[in-house]
Amino acid sequence: MTRVLIADDASFMRQMIRDIIDSEGYEVVGEATDGVEVVEKFKELHPDVIMMDIVMPKRSGIDAVKAIMEIAPKATVVMCSALGQETLVMEAIQAGAKDFIVKPFKPEAVLTTLKKVLEKGV
């Protein structure tokens, strides 16, 4: 079973992602509420995928991607962005994120993106 770590400072968004991916049989192994905690939980839980918000306290999602890539260059990170954050998304992709989804989340888009990054296996 694919193990997913969710990082977002809003519990609303964490719950929404959890509900979408639970329905397809993915296992949510942990949640993080800021850019420091997600790196700690990544080291502890070794998830297959991280769903990472861009705007978070303590350390941005982009800086968290950079930190995770230093630990595990093949880690699979999907950025959770909002409209108008195209530049930040590009920065995250350059930092090593594999793909992105845009809020408000459409369940089919979230699941399609997850399947795509897992099939790529990069």
Partner 1 sequence: MDLAKYRTLFLEEATEHLAEISRALLELEKDPSRSDSLDLVFRMAHSIKGMAASLDYAAISELAHALEDRMDVFRAAGRVDSAAGLPLLFRGLEGLEKMVKAVRESGEPGASDPELLLLLRGAPEPAAAEAAESRPKKAPRRP
- The region of 8-16, 24-32, 63-71, 92-100 touching partner 1 under the rule CB under 8 A is 8-16
In terms of CB distance, is 34 or 48 closer to partner 1?
Answer: 34
Q: Which residues are registered as beta bridge partners of 62?
A: none
In terms of CB distance, is 43 or 57 closer to partner 1?
Answer: 57
Tell me the torsion sign for CA atoms 51, 10, 102, 106.
positive
Verify binding: residue 12, partner 1, rule CB under 8 A: yes
Residues 29-58 that bind partner 1 (CB under 8 A): 55-57
Among 1, 104, 108, 121, binds partner 1 (CB under 8 A): 104
Verify binding: residue 73, partner 1, rule CB under 8 A: no
Angstrom distance (rounded) from CA 84 to CA 78? 17
Half-sphere exposure of 81 (CA within 13 A, CB side): 20
Query: Order of strands across the sheet with 77-82?
Result: 27-32, 3-7, 49-53, 77-82, 99-103
Extract the tokens encoding 17. 């992602």
- The region of 7-15, 68-76, 86-94, 112-120 touching partner 1 under the rule CB under 8 A is 7-15
Extract the tokens encoding 31. 């949640």
Q: Which residues bind partner 1 (CB under 8 A)?
A: 9-13, 15-16, 19, 55-57, 82, 84, 103-105
